[in-house]
């Protein structure tokens, strides 16, 4: 799992059947201090997130199927599994 910020939405004219009726977002992974790390990536929305939200990402296909409640999905790997309200960490 990772923390990320939703940077934008993806609009397509043609989608694989696993992506039909699903929102796909561009996300930016974040470190625990909410600073950007690494490259942006795509994730399917499983929780009705929006642009600017800080979210919890699962980047593993089996868990994505569980979050989206569809065991027949084969093409989806990364999914937004939660919207994060705050991050507290101890040093």
Tokens 């923390």, residue located: 3
Minimal CA–CA distance to 79: which of 53, 51, 52, 41?
Answer: 41
Q: Is the pTM of this model over 0.85?
A: no
Q: Residue 12: what pLDDT?
A: 85
Q: For 13-33, write each residue's pLDDT tens digit.
A: 887 777 778 889 999 999 988
Position 62 pLDDT exceeds 80: no
Average pLDDT of the chain? 85
Query: For 28-54, what is the mean pLDDT?
Result: 93
Q: How far apart are CA 53 and CA 75, in angstroms?
A: 24
Going by C-beta distance under 8 Å and a sequence separation of 6 or more, which residues neighbour residue 22?
44, 45, 68, 76
Mean pLDDT of 63-73: 65
């Amino acid at each position: 799992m990772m923390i990320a910020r939703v940077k934008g939405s993806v609009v397509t004219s043609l989608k694989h059947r696993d992506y039909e009726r699903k929102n796909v977002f561009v996300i930016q992974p974040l470190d625990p201090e909410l600073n950007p790390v690494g490259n942006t990536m795509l994730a399917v929305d499983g929780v009705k997130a929006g642009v600017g939200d800080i979210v919890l990402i699962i980047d593993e296909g089996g868990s994505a199927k569980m979050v989206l409640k569809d065991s027949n999905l084969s093409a989806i790997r990364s999914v937004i599994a939660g919207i994060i309200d705050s991050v507290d960490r101890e040093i």
